Structure 1
Amino acid sequence: MRAEVQSVIDDIKQSLGLLRRHLDWDNALRRLDELNSLAEDPSLWDDPQAAQSMMRERQKLDDQIGVCRELEQGLSDNIELIELGEADGDEDIVAEAEAALKALRTKAGKHELEALLSGEADANDTYVEIHAGAGGTESQDWTEMLTRMYMRWAESKGYKVEVMEIHPGEEAGYKSATLLVKGHNAYGWLKTESGVHRLVRISPFDSNARRHTSFSSVWVYPVIDDSIEIDVADKDVRIDTYRASGAGGQHVNTTDSAVRITHIPTGIVVQCQNERSQHKNRATAWSMLRARLYELELQKREEEAQAEAAQKTDIGWGHQIRSYVLQPYQLVKDLRTGVESTSPQAVLDGGIDAFLEASLAQRVHGGEGGETAQPANGG
């Protein structure tokens, strides 16, 4: 069997392994048996709401197990066809089976991604906060570059982006920016971007053209709907209003319409200034705070689960996750997965999909690392 075909087979097996682990295969089979037995109980529909919930769980589990079995069967059948074709010297059969395996690899990869994006809040819209680190104008310029990168990425996905807040730097760039990215799986895709992003380049603000290192922090948290209850006591928050800052002219408010809410127990701060009405900004800021607290709870749960699995990955605030080097050489490297790109400009233009996919995959199967991201238009 040719090395190229063996590589395709290995990729399918890896996807299958991930899907089985994600499902917790043996427990999933047992649970499906339980649900099938319950479905035959005549009294099931005495409680229609519970029955519908159970039937949805059964259908989802049945579909997921069915996908794995279908992929396994396709893999087994086509390997057998290739072996038969090679034994009989029938190149047509071999070529047909090889093409079928390549199509199966694409299908397996699609299901793998769907499995990676099946967390509790993954389907939701998301907030993305970017804050400049120490370093004044240099890191503020870097914060603006990152803000643009996420906006370009979101636009390439067909997502809608709203700028919730921008705090401009004195000379250039942003001290902070908050984006609202709207679209299916927006949070799922971006959730692994939280952390510190490092830039190395010749500074355009240094008259001696010296190399500078800048840091910006990114924080990603999901928009939560009204069905998720997050209680915040009034005594736990401080609310400040201030005048919105902007580019000048008509964009600068003449009233204190911008709102900042500080959650005292956790130290979480959110702010909103995108509306001219203080009332609207206050409502949005409260939504952002509840979302941040919800994300904190999700992160705690995930860390506990990862600790139990002995696969804990440091992705929290204050941890460097990716390095972007523009000089003396060109390289973007993810420090968690080892994924690299030698085209920083393509990455800064929004081409971050390879990094997102690898860090999502790492959460499920520990990450292999060492991949190379192919620069692409917006992904």
Structure 2
Amino acid sequence: MTPSITLQLPEILERLDRIGVRLDLPGKRQEIAQLEELSADPEFWNDPQRAQRTMRRLSQLREQVEQWESLSRQARDLQELSELAGDDDNLQAELAAEVEQLAGQLHQLELRLMLSGPYDAQDAILAVHAGTGGVDAQDWAEMLLRMYLRWAQRAGYQAEVLDISEGEEAGIKSATVEIRGPYAYGYIKGEAGTHRLVRLSPFDAAHRRHTAFALVEVLPDVEDDTEVEIREEDLRIDTYRASGAGGQHVNKTESAVRITHLPTGIVVTCQNERSQIQNRETAMKILRARLIELKLRERQEQQARLKGKPSVTGWGSRIRSYVLHPYTMVTDHRTEVSTSNIQAVLDGELEPFIEAYLERQLSDLSLEPV
């Protein structure tokens, strides 16, 4: 074997063994067999919601086990082929390229294992809000919206703008996006917090340097959750005429919906759809996500208090700075990851930041099976 393969393959096999222990493969195979038996019951689909939850869990378990088995099989095959290749430089070069590809797939599996939160496998709802900075902040919010839409496209996710409130002069006041795909919430949840932009303002006649802020919220999109109960009597639902684009229909009908959750004071709005019923359904989806996120935050704060660690949330949690003047640099304040290629970041190249955040979280995880 060439030196690089000699070093890499044993390390890959050792990492796979550790992952296998962490996955608790015997336990997962047993659960798969139980769920398959349950899904074969003729009365299984009598409760559609329960059946869908069961099938999602079964799909996730199969994916984890099959991916580990596939990588393990590839690693063993490559080890055998490399030993048979001997001093054939061409064949060893081909095998080295395959080992590099396998190492990349293994890294992705290790990242996926960091997504062990209760909602990490779910879709996500991402909201962007303009903060302090006037028109610059609204323009910055629109830039962030574009960045996340580009990221979703790069990552193979489906993204749909559920609601948007445009600024009077430029940009947006706020926008809400649904991102659909496996582990969307787990990957994007680390983007929650305040994002700071420093640049020469295109809205300043003197072209002076301005600082603008925008808040990003990331919520788990869960269709049903036993921990969250939304009672009709806890809701105040108002309808009004939508503003912005939409022509005469928008101006003449009260299609926009505002829902206030009285116990928590959470307010959600939706006006993008032409139907009041559709807007209400979307608003309820966002409300459920906000209530689930509230429960998650309360749980995290309680755990932080028990561990004696400070918990900083909301506007005070500045996670990243984007500097366009007097130099160009994007810096994540939690991981210290930086890049001068700010245009690539604004075009959706967020993987270095997302992976660094997930790897940082790994230090807080126990070695118990997921």
Query: What residue is the counterpart of 1:140 in the other structure?
Result: 138
Q: Secondary structure at the match of 2:243?
A: coil
Conserved? CA contact 1:16–1:71, under 8 Å: no
TM-score when normalising by structure 2: 0.75
Say whether residues 1:199 and 2:197 are aligned partners: yes
Conserved? CA contact 2:237–2:258, under 8 Å: yes
Cα distance in structure 1, aligned partners of 2:15 and 2:252: 56
Cα distance in structure 1, aligned partners of 2:154 and 2:64: 32
Letter in 2 for 1:344: I
Cα offset for 1:305? Answer: 6.2
Query: What residue is the counterpart of 1:262 in the other structure?
Result: 260
Cα offset for 1:263? Answer: 2.4
Cα distance in structure 1, aligned partners of 2:96 and 2:255: 63
Match of 1:232 among 207, 225, 230: 230
Letter in 2 for 1:196: T
Cα distance in structure 2, aligned partners of 1:251 and 1:333: 44
Q: Secondary structure at the match of 1:149?
A: helix
Conserved? CA contact 1:81–1:94, under 8 Å: no
Distance 1:296 1:152, change over 3 A: same
Conserved? CA contact 1:196–1:217, under 8 Å: yes
Cα distance in structure 2, aligned partners of 1:201 and 1:301: 38
Query: What residue is the counterpart of 2:44 in the other structure?
Result: none
Cα offset for 1:141? Answer: 0.9
Cα distance in structure 1, aligned partners of 2:301 and 2:76: 36
Cα offset for 1:352? Answer: 1.5
Cα distance in structure 2, aligned partners of 1:313 and 1:72: 43
Distance 1:279 1:140, change over 3 A: same
Distance 1:236 1:354, change over 3 A: same
User: Which stretches in structure 1 are left out of the alignment for 5+ residues?
Assistant: 368-379
Query: What residue is the counterpart of 2:289 in the other structure?
Result: 291
Taking the TM superposition and a 5 Å limit, the aligned residue runs for 1:61-72 are none
Cα offset for 1:268? Answer: 2.4
Cα distance in structure 1, aligned partners of 2:11 and 2:326: 36
Distance 1:109 1:131, change over 3 A: same
Cα distance in structure 2, aligned partners of 1:17 and 1:312: 33
Distance 1:59 1:275, change over 3 A: closer
Cα distance in structure 2, aligned partners of 1:251 and 1:330: 44
Distance 1:66 1:9, change over 3 A: closer
Cα distance in structure 2, aligned partners of 1:69 and 1:291: 37
Q: Secondary structure at the match of 2:146?
A: helix
Q: Secondary structure at the match of 1:270?
A: strand
Give the root-mean-square deviation of aligned CA atoms.
Answer: 4.5
Query: What residue is the counterpart of 2:314 in the other structure?
Result: 317
Cα distance in structure 2, aligned partners of 1:349 and 1:341: 13
Cα distance in structure 1, aligned partners of 2:172 and 2:10: 46
Query: What residue is the counterpart of 1:377 in the other structure?
Result: none
Cα distance in structure 1, aligned partners of 2:62 and 2:157: 29
Cα offset for 1:97? Answer: 6.4
Cα offset for 1:190? Answer: 1.5
TM-score when normalising by structure 1: 0.73
Query: What residue is the counterpart of 2:176 in the other structure?
Result: 178
Distance 1:253 1:228, change over 3 A: farther
Letter in 1 for 2:100: K
Cα distance in structure 1, aligned partners of 2:91 and 2:8: 17
Task: Select between 226-235 and 175-184 the one with higher mean Cα deviation.
Answer: 226-235
Cα offset for 1:70? Answer: 6.0
Query: What residue is the counterpart of 1:149 in the other structure?
Result: 147
Cα distance in structure 2, aligned partners of 1:363 and 1:2: 35
Letter in 2 for 1:214: A
For CA contacts below 8 A with separation 6 or more, give which structure has more relative contact order: 2
Cα distance in structure 2, aligned partners of 1:58 and 1:185: 13
Query: What residue is the counterpart of 1:219 in the other structure?
Result: 217
Task: Select between 205-214 and 290-299 the one with higher mean Cα deviation.
Answer: 290-299
Match of 2:207 among 198, 206, 209: 209
Conserved? CA contact 2:301–2:311, under 8 Å: no
Cα offset for 1:328? Answer: 0.9
Cα offset for 1:176? Answer: 1.0
Distance 1:276 1:110, change over 3 A: same
Cα distance in structure 2, aligned partners of 1:302 and 1:114: 21
Q: Secondary structure at the match of 1:355?
A: helix
Aligned length: 352
Task: Select between 121-130 and 323-332 the one with higher mean Cα deviation.
Answer: 121-130
Distance 1:156 1:103, change over 3 A: closer
Match of 1:342 among 324, 340, 343: 340
User: Which stretches in structure 2 are left out of the alignment for 5+ residues?
Assistant: 42-50, 366-370
Q: Secondary structure at the match of 1:123?
A: coil
Cα distance in structure 2, aligned partners of 1:46 and 1:188: 28
Percent of pairs with identical residues: 44
CA deviation string 1:233-274 (max 9, x = no partner): 345433333321114744743233211222233332211111
Cα distance in structure 2, aligned partners of 1:15 and 1:355: 23
Cα offset for 1:169? Answer: 1.6
Letter in 2 for 1:208: A
Q: Secondary structure at the match of 2:314?
A: coil
